[in-house]
């Protein structure tokens, strides 16, 4: 009898833990997507394909697939017609945007932390 209670309790705790991990992952993902749509999509387009000969595609881009640090440097320094975002985006938001673009559409890449970006600035 006591064992059954403990078992049920254990399972309940497990379900709560798993749910909170899943919810955190979904919230983090949506934050990056939202920031991308607000800050980058006007040029690079919501589907990440850009506009040929004007704004490069981020979907399949060598820079984006290369490393999170490369993307962070583009955002911090700016590039050509693209403005620097050093003064306007926090390291935490930059990390969320970079982790989103590196894993959106057909892209897949390791994530970067806000601390790593902070150290680049």
Q: Alpha-carbon distance 14 to 103, whole Å?
A: 28
Other Cβ atoms within 10 Å of 86 Cβ, number = 13
Q: Which is nearer to ligand HEC, 6 or 63 (CB)?
A: 63
- Locate tokens 């607000």: which residue? 38
Decide if residue 79 touches ligand HEC (CB under 6 A).
yes
Q: Which is nearer to ligand HEC, 40 or 95 (CB)?
A: 40
**Residue 30 CB-half CA count within 13 A:** 6
Indicate which single residue of 5, 81, 87, 106 sits in contact with ligand HEC (rule: CB under 6 A). Answer: 81
Decide if residue 99 touches ligand HEC (CB under 6 A).
no
* Region near ligand HEC per CB under 6 A, out of 10-18, 24-32, 77-85, 107-115: 77-85
DSSP one-letter code for 46:
T
């Amino acid at each position: 009898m006591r064992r059954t209670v403990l078992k049920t309790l254990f399972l309940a705790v497990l379900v709560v833990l798993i749910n909170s991990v899943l919810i955190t992952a979904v919230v983090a993902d949506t934050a990056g997507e939202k920031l991308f749509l607000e800050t980058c999509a006007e040029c690079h387009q919501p589907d990440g394909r850009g506009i040929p000969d004007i704004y490069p595609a981020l979907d399949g881009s060598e820079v984006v697939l290369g490393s999170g640090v490369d993307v962070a440097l583009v955002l911090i320094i700016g590039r050509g017609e693209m403005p620097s975002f050093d003064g306007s985006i926090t390291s935490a938001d930059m990390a969320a945007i970079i982790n989103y673009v590196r894993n959106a559409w057909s892209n897949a890449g390791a994530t970067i932390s806000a601390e790593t970006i902070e150290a680049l600035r």
